[in-house]
């Protein structure tokens, strides 16, 4: 593709992503490129990278469109503004690209030229931009982020501007970390051990691993380091009964099963049976034989009722706003709505309450989200503990040495919960709380004899 054709495809893909709210950007992009087989792999990567970069600075770009009274808000306007403000292209250069040639954008209209000329010579940041614009988040969510991070919220959000690395979890059912690393090296994929996860490897540069032998044979799975640490908190041991209550496609289920060495039982549950079905191939590839899949539907209602108090551990990876994954899914910054948060908080509380019934006395309940918003995290746990006095929190720092095998980093040692962020830990944003169900004290039998000399109170004379 010519540079102009790449720009035209970028405009078209951006319109496809921002023009709907239901599907994630990566699925929209996959469908977009499947319908355009003529676009080569290098061009696909260039177009997708540009779109993802634009989504990361979308707030500032739309601010400039408002400031210059640009007549449009679609992909053409956004990409044009980005070429001038982010890449330093002058208006003449942009007009050369937008000349109406084959597969190239059409010529700029007079009103577009008037607005874009006001951007010429400027950079993306501007002193008049409020903090929420400068940090490329919606205005309504900024107070929630400030509550989460305090005065450091600007630095925390700025850290998600960088694209995430590719993280792998070594499947201990099939390989050691050293064996997996060697297998990847044979494919020309260089890795390094992760900072925290003992089973983790991080690619030194972004490459696709899914077609390689190491992945196809189940030696490794793609999984963010933060997600690996959440699964590690479950501390699944051989012979245990463990429930993954919101299993989805099974990433954490696989990690738990591997830690149990296929001994014991893991039940992967989800309200969407289609998600559980997608996990079947992953389970086979990993060689995980101790996993049972159960849909949380009417057909399994009686079975679920019989499981009360049956599990040593229950993991609740709750549905959430996904604010912790914004570096990976930048479109989420703009599709999230206040009503989404308002609907999710009571849903999370309901799920947590239902899942807690499965925990046996002395067993553990782990609540996790890939959100950084306190309303979904700390506030949710506080409300649960208030209504469930038989559960007590266990500081994550107390578990870290046992489940990770190292001293916890200072940021984690100072908090009762696991809070991970791209800035401090190089992971996605995750929250996790570990709770234990208290063992009820056995009742002692009351004395059966009462001294005859002691009359009952009711027999006392009035």
| pLDDT surpasses 80 at 95 | yes
Distance CA 321, CA 329 (A): 12
Q: What number of residues does the chain have? A: 462
| pLDDT surpasses 80 at 455 | no
For residues 221-236, average pLDDT: 96
Q: Quick one: fold of 225-437?
A: Rossmann fold (3.40.50)
The top-level CATH class assigned to 167-222 is: alpha beta
- The domain segmentation of the chain, as residue ranges, is 3-127, 167-222, 225-437
Q: Please tell me the pTM assigned to this model.
A: 0.90
Distance CA 460, CA 462 (A): 6
Per-residue confidence (pLDDT) for residue 445, from 0 to 100: 58
For residues 150-179, average pLDDT: 94
Which residue stretches of 98-152 are H helix? 110-119, 131-134, 142-149
Per-residue confidence (pLDDT) for residue 297, from 0 to 100: 87
For residues 134-162, average pLDDT: 94
The number of beta carbons lying within 10 Å of the beta carbon of residue 20 is 11
Catalytic residue set: 370
| pLDDT surpasses 60 at 156 | yes
Per-residue confidence (pLDDT) for residue 369, from 0 to 100: 98
CA of 338: how far to CAs of 35, 62, 99, 143, 369, in Å?
Answer: 34, 20, 41, 12, 18
Cβ within 8 Å of residue 147, ≥6 positions away: 373, 374
* CA-closest candidate to residue 47, choices 15, 91, 95, 94: 15
- Strand partners for 365: 314, 435
* CA-closest candidate to residue 170, choices 222, 205, 120, 132: 222
Distance CA 182, CA 190 (A): 9
- Cα of 188 vs its chain's centroid, Å: 28
pLDDT band at 229 (very low <50, low <70, confident <90, very high): very high
For residues 83-92, average pLDDT: 96
């Amino acid at each position: 593709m010519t540079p102009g054709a790449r720009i035209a495809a970028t405009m078209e893909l951006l319109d496809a992503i921002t023009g709907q709210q239901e599907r994630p950007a990566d699925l929209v992009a996959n469908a977009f490129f499947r319908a355009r087989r003529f676009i080569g792999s290098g061009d696909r990567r260039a177009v997708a990278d540009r779109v993802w970069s634009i989504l990361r600075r979308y707030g500032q770009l739309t601010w400039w469109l408002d400031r210059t009274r640009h007549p449009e808000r679609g992909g053409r306007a956004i990409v044009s503004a980005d070429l001038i403000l982010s890449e330093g292209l002058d208006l003449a250069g942009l007009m050369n690209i937008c000349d109406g040639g084959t597969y190239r954008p059409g010529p700029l209209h007079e009103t577009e030229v008037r607005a874009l000329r006001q951007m010429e010579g400027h950079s993306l940041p501007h002193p008049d931009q409020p903090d929420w614009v400068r940090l490329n988040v919606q205005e309504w969510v900024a107070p929630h982020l400030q509550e989460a991070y305090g005065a450091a919220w600007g630095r925390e959000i700025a850290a998600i501007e960088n694209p995430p690395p590719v993280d792998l979890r070594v499947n201990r059912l099939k390989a050691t970390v050293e064996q997996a690393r060697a297998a990847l090296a044979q494919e020309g994929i260089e890795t390094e051990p992760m900072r925290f996860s003992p089973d983790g490897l991080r690619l030194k540069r972004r490459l696709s691993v899914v077609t390689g032998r190491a992945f196809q044979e189940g030696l490794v799975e793609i999984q963010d380091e933060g997600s690996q640490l959440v699964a590690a908190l479950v501390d699944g041991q051989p012979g245990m009964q463990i429930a993954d209550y919101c299993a989805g496609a099974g990433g954490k289920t696989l990690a738990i099963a591997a830690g149990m060495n296929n001994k014991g039982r893991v039940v992967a549950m989800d309200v969407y049976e289609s998600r559980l079905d997608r996990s079947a191939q992953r389970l086979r590839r990993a060689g995980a034989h101790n996993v049972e899949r159960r849909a949380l539907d009417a057909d399994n209602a009686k079975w679920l009722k019989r499981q009360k108090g049956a599990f040593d551990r229950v993991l609740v990876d709750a549905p959430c706003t996904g604010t912790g994954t914004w570096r990976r899914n930048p479109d989420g910054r703009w599709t999230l709505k206040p009503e989404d948060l308002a609907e999710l908080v009571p849903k999370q509380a309901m799920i947590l309450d239902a899942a807690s019934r499965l925990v046996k006395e002395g067993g553990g309940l782990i609540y996790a989200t890939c959100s950084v918003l306190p309303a979904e995290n700390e506030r949710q746990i506080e409300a649960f503990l208030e209504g469930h006095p038989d559960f007590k929190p266990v500081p994550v720092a107390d578990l870290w040495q046992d489940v990770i095998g190292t001293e916890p980093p200072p940021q984690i040692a100072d908090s009762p919960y696991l809070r991970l962020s791209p800035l401090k830990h190089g992971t996605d944003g995750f929250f996790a709380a570990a709770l234990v169900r208290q063992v009820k004290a056995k009742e002692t039998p009351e004395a059966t004899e009462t001294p005859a000399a002691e009359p009952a109170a009711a027999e006392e004379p009035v």
